[in-house]
Amino acid sequence: MVLKLFKTAMLSISNQLTWWCEGISKKDEFSLAGLTLSLLILAIFWFVWEFVKPSKGMKSLPPGPHGLPIVGYLPFLGTNLHHTFTELAHRYGPIYKLWVGNKLYVVVSSPAVAKEVVRDHDTIFGNRDPPIAALAVTYGGLDIAWSSYGSYWRNMRKVFVREMLSNRSIEAGYNLRRDEVQKTVREIYTKIGTPIDIGDIGFLTQVNVTMSMLWGSTLDWEKTSNIKAEFREVVMKITETFEKPNMSDFFPMLARFDVQGVERNMKRLFQWVERILDAVINERMKSNTMNKEGALENEEKKDFLQILLQLQEEEDTGKRINMTQIKALLMDIVVGGTDTTSTMVEFVMAEIINNPEVMKRVQEELADVVGKNNMVEESHLQKLLYMDAVVKETFRLHPPLPFLVPRCPSQSCIVGGYTIPKDSNVFLNVWAMHRDPQFWEDPLEFKPERFLNCNGEWDYSGNNFQYLPFGSGRRICAGIPLAERTLKYVLASFLHLFQWKLPEGEELDLSERFGIVIKKKTPLIAIPTPILSNMDLYK
Ligand code: HEM
């Protein structure tokens, strides 16, 4: 049986090589010979790894499905990876492994084992294995999300959390967020009674809010309106490119060929973003020099760019950052914060429209807390307890990052009784944990009540391992306070001002499409009508 499999493996290698040879020119023949040799060595490794038992006393690797030689489990992954990984957990248990190309993936699907990774061995699992597309837009991983665990990452994260996302700084950005949300409200008002794509409007609002917080406070918006449009376009293209699985990530030895062109494409997009960032930064530096005192005096008007530029001149070397780091941090906010938050706007709205009783209750709460003659303000958000539960329940059923951002152990480590080898990729399947009937009553039903009156048992801090929409441990999402606020503020404004219904004859489809960020499979189209009688609130 084993020999037969080995024979199939060799046959498959030679087929793969024939396919490969057709597309390669003469000058690559030398590389091809190296590649052939590497693939053969890889096949032997695969054979030994899969079929030879560990020596006595050594913990074995987790169980898992056998794939094909060279490609591993790749042909069987299907399009909805979160479903495939959850089905495999039913077969192989809370921790299993699989090979994809020459990378070893370990999938964890239980809160107890997740705790071992993100709490008991958090430092060991503090690294990432950045995809090539991510390296292309972060100067090779000089941002927070993709840098390795260590002092560089720690300093960058400290700057981000303490300087940019401090309570004071988030408060200071409120006027900027408010202006953008009000612009969206006006935009929706011009379309009342007609179908609107909620995903699109959520994305536009989020990019506008993000841009405004990044550099909106002192730039002249009239002059920069085409920068805004360009920026939205490039951000959309970057998020789309991130969606595509890249063979070079599974087969690092192929990376130099960039067969699908993902790296080339991402680098081109990044040059485009950099041009925009450079233009905005230059403009800001010019206006700062012209009116230095005014800019520094006016704390209320500090946006993220202003904070970062001031950190460039910081005397404390622990805080000081250079221009490359500034741009890498800006990319984290743009890439990490836009698609995730706007996807959630769409899912929450979809769940609410699908559950009219929930919509009614959310709107009654808004009328009580905000009043029928007022706009929603961020200060209302902490009193909106039912809406908080609705958002939490949506995060449970549709966590935007279903496997978080994979962790990569810096040394081999025992987890769940198995050896997890150094440099493997560890996925925490929170999508499966959030739907596990062992931990959730009626797990597939949308019941916000489960998050009411829970005395702080459920929050986004990552301390309850059954519920981890923002991850946990040292590498938990760095943007939680901002994400939570923006998401709720946008939703509360949409729901306080408008009644939403599906177009006549349409049915709601809540199914998901897998990607780095899980999206709704079909766009949510809904028709708004104004609720409040004071039309001035819409203009
Ligand atoms: C609904 C919105 C969001 C969700 C669901 C989300 C979720 C996540 C998750 C699951 C991780 C990985 C955590 C882990 O490995 O344990 C993460 C990391 C990160 N997120 Fe978010 N995020 C959101 C919004 C934001 C926003 C608005 C920002 C920035 C303003 C942001 C910045 C980051 C950064 C910088 C990291 C990397 C942290 C590190 O590696 O140390 N995120 N996020």
Rounded distance between C-alpha atoms, residue 95 and residue 111, angstroms: 11
Whether residue 129 is contained in a domain is answered as no
Shared domain check, 331 and 237: yes
What is the domain range of residue 92? 2-101
Query: What's the complex ipTM?
Result: 0.99
Residues 441 and 484 in one domain: yes
Ligand 1 centroid–CA 192 distance in Å is 34
Q: Are residues 6 and 97 in the same domain?
A: yes
- Model pLDDT for residues 258-316, shown as the tens digit of each residue: 999 999 999 999 999 999 899 889 888 888 777 665 544 455 557 899 889 989 988 88
Confidence band, pLDDT 50/70/90 cuts, at residue 220: low
Residue 408 annotated as part of some ligand binding site:
no
Tokens of 191: 């379309």
Separation CA 291–CA 113 (nearest Å): 55
- Residue 483 CA: nearest ligand 1 atom is 27
Confidence class for position 16, pLDDT limits 50, 70, 90:
very low
> Which of 82, 101, 120 lies at the terminal end of a domain, its last residue?
101
Q: pLDDT, tens digit, for every residue of 364-409?
A: 999 999 999 999 999 999 999 999 999 999 999 999 999 999 999 9
Write the DSSP symbol of residue 68: B
The whole-number pLDDT of residue 289 equals: 77
Which range has the worst mean pLDDT, 55-64, 83-92, 449-458?
55-64
The answer on 152 and 79 residing in a single domain is no
Residues with CB under 6 A from ligand 1: 144-145, 157, 332-333, 336-337, 340-341, 344, 400-401, 404-405, 469-472, 475-479, 482-483, 487
Check residue 318 and give its pLDDT.
Answer: 76
Number of Cβ within 10 Å of residue 327's Cβ equals 21
* 320 and 433 both lie in a single domain: yes
Ligand 1, atom 24: nearest CA belongs to which residue? 337
Describe the crossing of helices 151-158 and 323-354 by its angle, rounded to 10 degrees. Answer: 70
Helix axes 356-370, 385-397, angle to 10 degrees: 140
pLDDT of residue 279: 87
User: Is 109 part of a structural domain of the chain?
Assistant: no
> What total of structural domains would you count in the chain?
2
Is it the case that residue 538 has pLDDT exceeding 80? yes
Same domain membership, residue 143 and residue 86: no
Residues 141 and 73 both lie in one domain: no
Axis-axis angle for helices 304-312, 198-215 (nearest 10): 40
Q: Are 406 and 85 in contact (CB under 8 A)?
A: no
Identify whether 131 is part of a domain: no
Cα dihedral 229, 526, 479, 81 sign: negative
Beta bridge partners of 519: 513
| 530 closest CA partner among 199, 203, 182, 186 | 186
What is the residue with the minimal CA distance to atom 16 of ligand 1?
471
Domain boundary among 44, 79, 101: 101
Residue 180 · residue 317 · CB < 8 Å: no
Note whether 335 and 423 are same-domain residues: yes
381 and 507 share a domain? Answer: yes
From residue 154, give the alpha-carbon distance in Å to each of 121, 149, 161, 332, 484.
17, 7, 10, 15, 23
Compare 285 and 530 and report the one with higher pLDDT. 530
Residues 503 and 385 in one domain: yes
Query: 225 C-alpha vs ligand 1 centroid, how far in Å?
Result: 28
User: How many Å lie between the centroid of ligand 1 and the Cα of residue 501?
Assistant: 31
Residue 135: pLDDT band (50, 70, 90) is very high
Amino acid, single-letter form, for residue 192: I
Phi, psi of 107 (to 5 degrees): -115, 125
**Residue 334 maps to a domain:** yes
Cα separation, 47 vs 52, whole angstroms: 8
Q: Is 120 contained in some domain?
A: no
Neighbours of 25 (CB within 10 A): 7
Pocket-testing residue among 153, 477, 491, 516, ligand 1, by greatest number of atoms within 8 A of Cβ? 477
Q: Specify the amino acid at residue 263.
A: E
Last residue of a domain, one of 54, 74, 101: 101
pLDDT > 70 in the chain, percent: 86
Is 151 found in the same domain as 221? yes
User: Would the pLDDT of 5 be above 50?
Assistant: no
pLDDT above 90: percentage of residues in the chain? 70
pLDDT score of 50:
55
**Residue 130 is assigned to a structural domain of this protein:** no
Atom of ligand 1 nearest to the CA of 343: 1
Return all residues near 536 (Cβ < 8 A) that are at least 6 apart. none
Confidence (pLDDT) at 455: 78
Q: What is the DSSP string of 27-51?
A: GGHHHHHHHHHHHHHHHHHHHHHHH
Q: Note the pLDDT of residue 41.
A: 62
Report the separation in Å between the CA atom of 336 and the middle of ligand 1, taken as the mean of its atom positions. 6
Does 265 map to a domain? yes
- Give alpha helix (H) positions in 93-173: 111-115, 132-136, 151-158, 167-172
Tens digits of residue pLDDT in 449-507: 999 988 778 999 999 999 999 999 999 999 999 999 999 999 999 999 999 999 999 99
Pick from 517, 469, 427, 433: nearest CA to 64: 427
| Averaged pLDDT for residues 170-185 | 93
Q: Report if residue 419 sits inside a domain.
A: yes
CA–centroid distance, residue 475 to ligand 1 (Å): 9
User: Is 243:515 a contact under the CB 8 Å cutoff?
Assistant: yes
CB burial class (10 A; 0-12, 13-18, 19+) of residue 334? buried
pLDDT tops 70 at residue 159: yes
Residues 506 and 419 in one domain: yes
CATH code, domain carrying 420? 1.10.630.10
Structure-token pair, residue 436:
């596990």
Q: Is the pLDDT of residue 184 over 70?
A: yes
Compute the average pLDDT of residues 433-448: 98
